[in-house]
Structure 1
Amino acid sequence: MKKLLMANWKMNPKTEKEAIRLAKASDAANVVVYPPFPFLPAVAKALKKATLGAQDLFWEAETGPYTGEVSARELKSVGVEYVIIGHSSRRALGEKDEVIAKKVQAALSVGLVPILCVGEVLEEREAGRAQEVVDKQLRTVLSQLPLVAHGQLFVAYEPVWAISTTPHSSGLQSLSAEEAPAKSVELIRYMQHMVSTIQMETKFLYGGSVNLKNVQEVFGYDEIDGALVGGASLKAAEFGKMIKEVST
């Protein structure tokens, strides 16, 4: 399997027209595009080579009296194949490990591929707690999965201290972005050992301010199976160059 380049648009762009334009510019094999919920159907029609993903889902997989929520089954019905779960943006809003674990189960139950995001904030890293934090985040999910699980799981390591667009950040965290990939490999190796306890295909992504300058370095590590790209994926020209960089 080739390494994947995943474009997380977050709460962007402003209009469906812009979303379609951006989708067409990102349309390539081994690319997964994650637009906001309202643009999923339009982006699904625009994509010919890339795969459609969603940025979140509810922990109830089917339907129910949950105002404002979107289920795994509903996402699958509009062509979604991958779904981001536990992104640092969601954790910052109070989403707990236990809820994230239920969301992973919901995704797997309908055949979606969950992208489980884990990672520590700057204060936790400076306190020497990076491994402890990531261990708890990942272990909570793994403990809810059967030893032999069907489907596929991606674990996206987000060093939150290296994400320049983190809401309410001082901006100083981005100063560490260039050295973050190399510093993250050891922690990814630790997580690879953790997931060896379950018989399920598990891949690892890196998601710390990936851009045109560092995407080749990220893809150069054997431990990393792809990248979860944020801000850079909204710049059509830059993301197009990133696709070419990792396709050659």
Structure 2
Amino acid sequence: MKKIIIANWKMNPQTAKEARRLFDAIKKGVRPIKNTEVVIAPSFVHLSLFKPSGSIKLAAQDLFFEDPPAGRRAYTGEISASMLKDLKVSYVIVGHSERRQYIGESDELISKKLESAFSRGFKTVLCVGEKEREEGGFSDIVRMQLKKALSCLSRNYTSRLIIAYEPLWAISTTKGARADTPQNAFEMTIFIRRAMLDIWGKNAALKIPILYGGSVNSKNAKGFLDVKGISGLLVGGASLKPDEFIKILRLS
């Protein structure tokens, strides 16, 4: 199975010119890489600048939880699934820890967004992770995030779900951030699959790809990619440096 490497640009770059330069540099470096699904998630204002190709797929960093018909679209500032489809987006990120913390997104809202993304055929990346690594408590937090987001949704969406384990304390923009260890990440993949066994059954537990995210760079990426059960990476800050991101891709 191909590894999945997703570049989450977050609220970067600040100009269209910079975004084009970054995308073009990554696209050039990706050409010789054959066994990796490379996905770029630009900001909403830059999505329309790019077209997916055989080497790069496009992702959205979020979407609205409804896709209403004409006449019922009075949702200022939101982006619908139909808009993303029109831009040839194939992946959507839902429930990122920064949106949970800073925007106040609840598990219930995230569940609605998942339903919207699944129903329109997107490969959907559900982000889960704890704020702090506290002995005995972090696993309960992740289990509850998975249960509240997925238990009311159909397991028929198994083929469209990807889970990204990205603890908030490990994200590069968090004060004092540090990457998790490959051993801890391995243990979390086992835990997540056990949780999915209870929520969506054996097929989902075995087949759903699990990514690791949190201060990923070219120095630690291989350690995570070599972990059995980790299907790829969700890369933040390092994806804004084309040379660094290409190094990560070559490790996959």
Q: TM-score scaled by structure 2? A: 0.88
- RMSD between aligned alpha carbons? 1.7
Partner of 2:170: 162
Q: Quote the Cα distance in structure 2 between the aligned partners of 1:181 and 1:59.
A: 34
**Aligned 8 A contact 2:128 2:145 in 1:** yes
Aligned length in residues: 236
Structure 2, unpaired ranges of 5+: 31-35
The offset of 1:139, in angstroms, is 0.6
**Aligned 8 A contact 2:177 2:215 in 1:** no
Partner of 2:67: 61
The equivalent position to 1:73 in structure 2, one of 70, 74, 82, is 82
The offset of 1:127, in angstroms, is 5.2
2:161 maps to 1:153: yes
| Alignment map for 1:112-127 (pairs within 5 Å) | 112-122=122-132, 125-126=133-134
2:221 maps to 1:221: no
Given residue 208 of structure 2, which amino acid in structure 1 is its aligned partner?
T
Task: Provide closer, same or farther for how the CA distance between residues 184 and 244 of structure 1 changes in structure 2, counting only shifts above 3 A.
Answer: closer
Partner of 1:244: 250
The offset of 1:21, in angstroms, is 1.4
Q: Quote the Cα distance in structure 2 between the aligned partners of 1:127 and 1:221.
A: 22
The offset of 1:43, in angstroms, is 2.0
| Alignment map for 1:37-186 (pairs within 5 Å) | 37-44=44-51, 47=53, 49-63=55-69, 64-92=73-101, 93-122=103-132, 125-126=133-134, 128-149=136-157, 151-166=159-174, 171-174=175-178, 177=179, 179-186=180-187
- Give the secondary structure class of the aligned counterpart of 2:89: coil
Q: Quote the Cα distance in structure 2 between the aligned partners of 1:37 and 1:147.
A: 29
- Give the secondary structure class of the aligned counterpart of 1:52: strand
Structure 1, unpaired ranges of 5+: none
Q: Quote the Cα distance in structure 2 between the aligned partners of 1:149 and 1:232.
A: 31
Partner of 2:33: none
Partner of 1:30: 37
The offset of 1:164, in angstroms, is 2.3
**Aligned 8 A contact 2:7 2:239 in 1:** yes
Partner of 1:189: 190
Q: Quote the Cα distance in structure 2 between the aligned partners of 1:215 and 1:143.
A: 32
Given residue 229 of structure 1, which amino acid in structure 2 is its aligned partner?
V
Q: Quote the Cα distance in structure 2 between the aligned partners of 1:8 and 1:62.
A: 27
The offset of 1:190, in angstroms, is 1.2
Q: Quote the Cα distance in structure 2 between the aligned partners of 1:153 and 1:219.
A: 19
Task: Give per-residue Cα distances to partners, 1:200-226, cap 9 Å, x unaligned.
Answer: 552100001111001111110121000
Partner of 1:207: 213
Q: Quote the Cα distance in structure 2 between the aligned partners of 1:141 and 1:113.
A: 16
Q: TM-score scaled by structure 1? A: 0.89
